[in-house]
Structure 1
Amino acid sequence: MARTPKQGRAGRGTTLIERVRRAQLVEVTVDLIAELGYAKTSLARIAEGADLTKAAVLYHFPSKDALVRAACAQVLETLTEEVGAALASAPAADGPTTYVRAMVGHLRAHPRHTRVIVEAFPHLEDDHTSERRWGPLAGIIDTAAEARGLPAVDSRSLAVIIGGAIDGLVGEALRDPDYDTTGPAERLNAMIESALSG
């Protein structure tokens, strides 16, 4: 029987100590990827950062990729929760602009998480398909268009364009920490409003 994420190595439920250790390993992995990049983040460095042996790391995660997946999942969960909360409190018609503000704001406020997304996701190709990126935003755009009483829009293309613009803003902020993404994000939102003005 396959072991589920909530089960330990022997198929039993994980203990509190195991959960704490796994969380520590994920945090160390996030820090190392943010500081060194994916290629230089090795199991040996993760073990050293957690003050464990490599064998102890492998007890909790069977490979570097498994640990990187867990780190990416944590980063995405935090991002999704924050953006989701912003969308839930905004009118449906304002969904696309709320999405841009929340995404850019979160990624600006959490540069470590941003570096993990940039560094690690290309190595997890099965988790990072194009449609998984633009699909949810296209749905937000469709909902906004409907709330505004607009005819169907090319939400896929608009979502790809918005996603690319966000990537560009965030990438520039990673290269230059003094680059303020707030103004450019609002200019992007003005373009979105123009596209959804009917």
Structure 2
Amino acid sequence: MTERIAREPGRSTFIQRTRRAQLIACAIDVLAEDGYVQASLSRIAKRAGVSRGVILYHFSGRDDLLDAVVSEVYRIATEELRPTIETQSTALRAVRTFIVGSAEFYRAYPAHMAALREIVAHSRSADGTIRHSEHSRANERELSALGVLFERGKEAGEFRAFSTPIMARTIRSTLDGLLGQMRVDPGYDPVPEAHEVADIFERAMMRQSE
């Protein structure tokens, strides 16, 4: 029972939550610096200055810890972006804020994004099964949130008729392209191109004047 509670942040003590946060932070650093394959529990434990058993007290295993990394990256991104997105007066501005704000987040949290890229790149096992389902769930939540913005814009007469799922996936794929460029060029700044991307999608979504 104690072990199970330790893995449930909502029921854990402050000390347990602090330790979990430390282990997640160390996992992010190891993933970013050494890559997915080398990010063993032993290496993460060494970075944290604890034994491997301490990690297994808080997480059921490596995949559980890496799922927690995914959750943490998306949690921070949501806390950074949502307040600004929700205060935008139009759906168009909200979508633009999402695109540019995502790039600003990538630039501000390079280690977090490098860690996420490593996990996503290895999200499936050799037999095709999903290894890190938390990424799939987080990605679907993001696409759903974009869809809400699109439907809001259509109802308000801002946007033309288009396929909401296709537009959401296309924006997501384009942002993934910015992330990919960051991987091959550490000096790359995604924000200027994110503004261009926002311009492109603005023209793609807006209702044409008659």
Match of 1:38 in 2: 36
SS in 1 for 2:31: helix
Match of 1:70 in 2: 68
Q: CA RMSD in A?
A: 2.3
CA contact 1:142–1:152 (8 Å) conserved in 2: no
Gaps of 5+ in 2: 124-130
Question: How far did residue 79 of structure 1 move?
Answer: 0.6
Check 1:23–1:149 CA distance in 2 against 1; reply closer, same or farther (3 A cut). Answer: closer
Check 1:131–1:17 CA distance in 2 against 1; reply closer, same or farther (3 A cut). Answer: closer
CA contact 1:95–1:141 (8 Å) conserved in 2: no
1: CA distance, partners of 2:199 / 2:65 = 40
Question: How far did residue 114 of structure 1 move?
Answer: 0.8
Superposition TM-score, scaled by structure 1 size: 0.86
CA contact 2:160–2:206 (8 Å) conserved in 1: no
Q: Tell me the alpha carbon deviations over residues 81-115 of structure 1, each in whole angstroms, 9 at most, x when there is no partner.
A: 11212211212322211110111110121111111
Match of 2:46 in 1: 48
CA contact 2:41–2:52 (8 Å) conserved in 1: yes
SS in 2 for 1:128: helix
Count of aligned pairs: 193
1:186 aligns with 2:207: no
1:165 aligns with 2:174: yes
Check 1:50–1:157 CA distance in 2 against 1; reply closer, same or farther (3 A cut). Answer: same
Match of 2:106 in 1: 107
1: CA distance, partners of 2:65 / 2:159 = 45
2: CA distance, partners of 1:135 / 1:8 = 31
2: CA distance, partners of 1:181 / 1:196 = 22
Check 1:66–1:163 CA distance in 2 against 1; reply closer, same or farther (3 A cut). Answer: same
SS in 2 for 1:40: coil
Question: How far did residue 53 of structure 1 move?
Answer: 1.3
Question: How far did residue 133 of structure 1 move?
Answer: 4.7
Superposition TM-score, scaled by structure 2 size: 0.82
Gaps of 5+ in 1: none
Q: Structure 2 residue aligned with 1:23, among 5, 21, 24?
A: 21
Check 1:126–1:19 CA distance in 2 against 1; reply closer, same or farther (3 A cut). Answer: closer
Identity rate of aligned residues, in percent?
31
